[in-house]
Structure 1
């Protein structure tokens, strides 16, 4: 239950960064790469006013973040261990640093700077997404809820005795929605505050996860 709650917090943070990426960083999705693929497709078809460089570099950096994380974690068991904590701390501090940078240059946030910020933020979300995949909590990818919504709707009248699973799916959708709403509000003050809040959430999750894992191992050893 503790791990599920921590992943919910990460999902909430994803809503924040995706909202600010779209509203304040030239229509780039920082956590949801599906949105970037769609934007690129429409831009290739000649749709006016759609970015290409931002979504493309975000996808590349997201993939790099996930690839490095996968390499670090390797074939480790799906348990919370120190490497997971370190990786999440890196992602959280990276987002906080980018938020501080965005706040400092808010009045001179050029297109190039926006691309750099959104791309590095996407790398942080790639780390988060790969960690969540490694932890393998059902329906909790922390970055997308399309499959969760599909499962929730498709099995709504078929699942019996799995109320907890249905509630988990519903909660994942709701927390992403609420995160996006908060991100939209924060975007009014620029990209900085939203990135800092999301990064801080990841740092808190990393520390709580490490603390909880230590307590769990202590209980097992007694």
Structure 2
């Protein structure tokens, strides 16, 4: 070994590789959108039971039925009201306009954030309608018009958001095309039937919500089912994710 030679240092032992940190997607935090939208479908059935059975044959979630009801009322059929139905249609459309503009604003943020924001607004609106119904008789004009306006606006707001989310077969308020798809795309209709579970669940959710709403209205009036709807939507507002 010469004077300029240096002893070779042994190589450092290889460090064990650290486990990769799992990816954290804020959109995926919370309850997935499919069960959220199924629960909202049930709430639609509940709210339409409240307004149709408790407020004189008017819908505030199902606008297809409402347009038909408006025709009945315009023709003078007993039990239907042009002012009630018109109020529902106008407030629903205003809610849809607000929902559409909100979802398109840059500050709306992620799908998760504006979905939760919309559901929080719906919970507040339905909660206020419940408070009005507790404070005044069910058939008082202030109760009728307040509940119709507030719930119709909330449903318009929600429908604009659901449309923007674009989750297949889950509109939360209308089942005509869901039933059509369920039948025409089934194996009996020559299709693969791949979306049958989701479509079937949507129909069942609507029936369950309408049944519960009707049962509560017939036994407790309109305030209790509205309060139930507000609480359920408030829970969804706190837990919904942005992923299907």
TM-score, normalization: structure 2? 0.80
State the 4+ residue runs in structure 1 displaced beyond 4 angstroms: 75-79
The corresponding residue for 1:206 is 237
Q: Which residue of 1 aligns with 2:16?
A: none
Give 1:219's aligned residue.
none
After superposition, the C-alpha distances for 1:167-197 in whole angstroms (9 at most, x for unaligned) are 1001100100010000001112111111111
Rounded Cα–Cα distance in structure 2 between residues aligned with 1:87 and 1:5: 17
Choose the corresponding residue for 1:26, options 56, 60, 83. Answer: 56
The superposition leaves residues 32-66 of structure 1 with CA deviations (integer Å, 9 ceiling, x where unpaired) of 01111111111222222311111111011011111
* More relative contact order, 1 or 2 (CA 8 Å, 6+ apart): 1
Three-state SS of the structure 2 residue aligned to 1:106 is coil
Could you tell me how far apart the structure 2 residues matched to 1:35 and 1:75 are? 31
Residue by residue over 1:190-213, the C-alpha shift from the partner in whole angstroms, topping out at 9 and shown as x without a partner, is 11111111121211111111xx45
Structure 2 residue runs without a partner (length 5+) = 1-30
The residue that corresponds to 1:220 in the other structure is none
CA distance in 1: counterparts of 2:238 and 2:115, whole angstroms: 10
Cα deviation 1:112-162 (Å, max 9, x = unaligned) = 4302211211101111111111111001011111110011111112222x5
TM-score under structure 1 length normalisation: 0.87
Counterpart selection for 1:61 from 84, 91, 107: 91
In 2, distance between residues paired with 1:66 and 1:82?
18
> Do residues 147 (structure 1) and 191 (structure 2) align?
no
Name the stretch that deviates more: 116-125 or 168-177: 116-125
Give unpaired runs (5+ residues) of structure 1: 217-222
Please, what is the CA RMSD of the aligned residues?
A: 2.0
Structure index of larger Rg: 2
Distance 1:204 1:66 in 2: 22
Provide the rounded CA distance (Å) in 1 between the counterparts of 2:224 and 2:205: 19
Question: Is structure 2 residue 88 aligned with structure 1 residue 90?
Answer: no
Partner residue of 2:157 out of 127, 132, 149: 127
| Number of equivalences | 209
The question of 1:195 aligning with 2:212 is answered no
Match status 1:178 vs 2:225: no
The structure whose residues are more often helix, as a share, is 1
Range moving further from structure 2, 41-50 or 30-39? 41-50
